[in-house]
Chain A
Amino acid sequence: KAGVTQTPRYLIKTRGQQVTLSCSPISGHRSVSWYQQTPGQGLQFLFEYFSETQRNKGNFPGRFSGRQFSNSRSEMNVSTLELGDSALYLCASSLASGRALKETQYFGPGTRLLVL
């Protein structure tokens, strides 16, 4: 079974631009989560989607948004990019079997975003 895939793997943008990152979960997985990883802040939760609905959101500004499609694929968007948005963005998927807390998240390779 294929793992979580993320595209693109690398991106360079300039301040003020917007960016869209894509995530395809493991086949059969219905929940997709996004995390931002930076050297200073570590791994921080952005948001989680299940059945095309955002169930949880981290403490990030409204410039960060996401969505999930009916096939469970997910995208996240960052508008009006700032230098501080440079980070590794990780996507994770889980089965979402209904036992919400007993879920194991499997991570993709990440998208490395550099904002100049």
Chain B
Amino acid sequence: AQSVTQPDIHITVSEGASLELRCNYSYGATPYLFWYVQSPGQGLQLLLKYFSGDTLVQGIKGFEAEFKRSQSSFNLRKPSVHWSDAAEYFCAVQGAQKLVFGQGTRLTINP
């Protein structure tokens, strides 16, 4: 069965600092991976996705993620965070007609 682990429940970074959110997946075949962001009281917004090809994928809002098959990881990065990036971030793997999500990482930004 597919599973996703986000080891960090809560991360705090200063505005302007770099960010890396970790995601590890378990999936028997080629994984299709996603990162979504959720602001308080809102639905999920797609940041980026990996289906195949280049292992470094670019997304919206300046985010990127790197797929590493050997480490079963799909970490999300941003070189310089903005206060508006404060939100909850979810990593997901595509299963049969469904997404399997990690528990999420809540990001707090210090001014």
Tell yes or no: B44 within 8 A of A by CB. Answer: yes
> Could you tell me the distance in whole angstroms from the C-beta of A23 to the nearest C-beta in chain B?
11
Tell yes or no: B36 within 8 A of A by CB. Answer: yes
Contact of A102 among B51, B96, B101 (CB under 8 A): B51
Q: Is the interface of A mostly helix, strand, loop or mixed?
A: strand
What 1/0 mask marks residues of chain B from 71 to 111 whose CB sits below 8 Å from any chain A CB? 00000000000000000001000101111111110000000
Q: Check B97–A42 contact: CB distance below 8 A.
A: no
Given A101-B94, A102-B32; A107-B44 close (CB under 8 Å)? yes
Q: Check A48–B104 contact: CB distance below 8 A.
A: no
How long is the Cα–Cα vector from A92 to B36 in the complex, in angstroms? 12
Q: Which of B22-46 contact A (CB under 8 A)?
A: 32, 34, 36, 41-46
Contact of A109 among B42, B94, B102 (CB under 8 A): B42
Q: Check A45–B99 contact: CB distance below 8 A.
A: yes
Kindly list chain B residues whose C-beta atoms are within 8 Å of the C-beta of A48.
97-98
What 1/0 mask marks residues of chain A from 72 to 116 whose CB sits below 8 Å from any chain B CB? 000000000000000000101000000011111111111010000
Q: Check A56–B98 contact: CB distance below 8 A.
A: yes
What band does the interface of chain A fall in when counting residues whose beta carbon is under 8 Å from B? Answer: 20 to 34
Tell yes or no: A24 within 8 A of B by CB. Answer: no
Q: Check A42–B101 contact: CB distance below 8 A.
A: yes
Residue on A nearest B96 in the bound complex, by CB: A56
Contact of B34 among A4, A6, A42, A104 (CB under 8 A): A104
Q: Check B42–A42 contact: CB distance below 8 A.
A: no
Q: Check B97–A43 contact: CB distance below 8 A.
A: no
29 contacts between A and B (CB under 8 A): A6-B43, A31-B97, A33-B97, A33-B98, A33-B99, A42-B101, A42-B103, A43-B90, A43-B99, A43-B104, A45-B99, A45-B100, A48-B97, A55-B97, A56-B96, A92-B44, A92-B99, A100-B96, A101-B32, A101-B94, A101-B96, A102-B32, A103-B94, A104-B34, A106-B46, A107-B43, A107-B45, A109-B43, A110-B42
A→B interface (CB under 8 Å): 4, 6, 31, 33, 35, 42-43, 45, 48, 50, 55-56, 58, 90, 92, 100-110, 112
